Amino acid sequence: MRTRLYATVAAGGFRRHATYRVATAAGVFTNTVFGLILSYTYIALWDERPQLGGYSMDDALAYVWIGQALITVCGLMGGGFEEELIERIRTGDIAVDLYRPADLQAWWFSANLGRSAYQLLGRGVVPMAVGALVFDFTLPAGPGTWLAFLVAVALGSTVSFAIWYLVAMSAFWLLDGQGVVQVAWLGGLFFSGMLLPLNVFPGALGELARVLPWASMLQVPADVYLGKYAGGWQLAGAYAFQGCWALVLLGAGRAAQAAATRKVVVQGG
């Protein structure tokens, strides 16, 4: 592994996003407002149906703010890198990435890791703190839970990367990735549990939603945060669920990348 190279790429990804301070401030504002709206909606819902999906009111409110904090970190509504990658494929700038002595997927993964880390600090912490000031929601039991939560977030972010990377790869064949992006966006919005926790989904739909990869991105980290996994084995199971999806989807991304670089035309110029 070329740790130093990819560490440099990740650091670059972090600093690139850090240069856009106004965008970060605007994002924090949007997340906070959206969090307030969702909070009041959830309060109304949980007033009617206490313990819905096994969550108390405090759990539900924590869930809202975790969601707001992770929107960009775990790419719930778009991975935050796929538009750039699709644009590079469409314009042919991807040629520059391809001749480099570096692996395309590892390169973008590292860059995205840097981006996620910045988003966690820049756009995750503040809305969560604001939410905690306004509402009295559940906080993790202790530092161990915080740590376990961060591991789940890292895994969730990896699954998110893998999904959006696959989406971006489709641009090699479709040339215009917008259609696929729209579908992935809608799928992510619904199946990540961004609008409503997945454990609230009824029957077969709920069963399905909880085993799809999008569950790794918000539902699993939130449940880790809320301490819903009793004991080490359950927690390990949750990590394994995320890890398996990460491996499968990263593998699919590699296969798509190999097929693309082998036979697909690099556009333009």
Partner 1 sequence: MSFIELESLEKTFTIRRKEGLLKRSKREVRAVDGISFGVERGEMVGYIGPNGAGKSTTIKMLTGILTPSGGRLRVAGIDPSPSSRLRSGRGGPNRERTRLAQRIGVVFGQRTTLWWDLPLKDSYGLMHRMYRIPDARYRENLDRCVELLDLGELLDVPVRQLSLGQRMRGDIAAALLHDPEVLYLDEPTIGLDVVSKARVREFLRELNASQGTTVLLTTHDLTDIEQLCSRVMVIDHGKLMYDGKLAGLHAVGESERLLVVDLERELPPIEDVPGARFVRAEGPRQYLAFPASSSAAPLVAAVAAAYPLVDLSVREPDIEAVIAKMYGGTREERRESLM
Q: Which residues bind partner 1 (CB under 8 A)?
A: 2, 4-5, 8-9, 12, 15-16, 19-20, 92-93, 95-96, 98-103, 258, 261-263, 265-266, 269
| Tokens (6 digits) for 136 | 């009295």
Question: What φ, ψ does residue 229 adopt, rounded to 5°?
Answer: -95, 110
Q: Cβ of residue 96: shortest distance to partner 1, in angstroms? A: 5
Q: Cβ of residue 28: shortest distance to partner 1, in angstroms? A: 20
Q: Cβ of residue 143: shortest distance to partner 1, in angstroms? A: 34
Q: Which is nearer to partner 1, 18 or 134 (CB)?
A: 18
According to DSSP, the residues that pair with 78 across neighbouring strands are: 76
Q: Cβ of residue 10: shortest distance to partner 1, in angstroms? A: 11
Sign of the dihedral defined by the CA atoms of residues 218, 190, 111, 1, in that order: positive
Phi-psi region of 175 (alpha: psi -120 to 50; beta: other; left: phi over 0): left
195 vs 211: CA distance, rounded Å: 17
Contacts of 176 (CB under 8 A, 6+ apart): 90
| Tokens (6 digits) for 192 | 């990540």
Q: Which is nearer to partner 1, 85 or 184 (CB)?
A: 85
Go through the chain and tell me how many residues it has: 269
Q: Which is nearer to partner 1, 2 or 49 (CB)?
A: 2
Q: Which is nearer to partner 1, 121 or 189 (CB)?
A: 121
Q: Which is nearer to partner 1, 49 or 100 (CB)?
A: 100
Q: Which is nearer to partner 1, 94 or 215 (CB)?
A: 94
Angle at 18 between CA 13 and CA 19, to 5 degrees: 105
Q: Cβ of residue 82: shortest distance to partner 1, in angstroms? A: 17
Which of 167, 176, 157, 156 is CA-nearest to residue 253? 167
Q: Cβ of residue 179: shortest distance to partner 1, in angstroms? A: 16
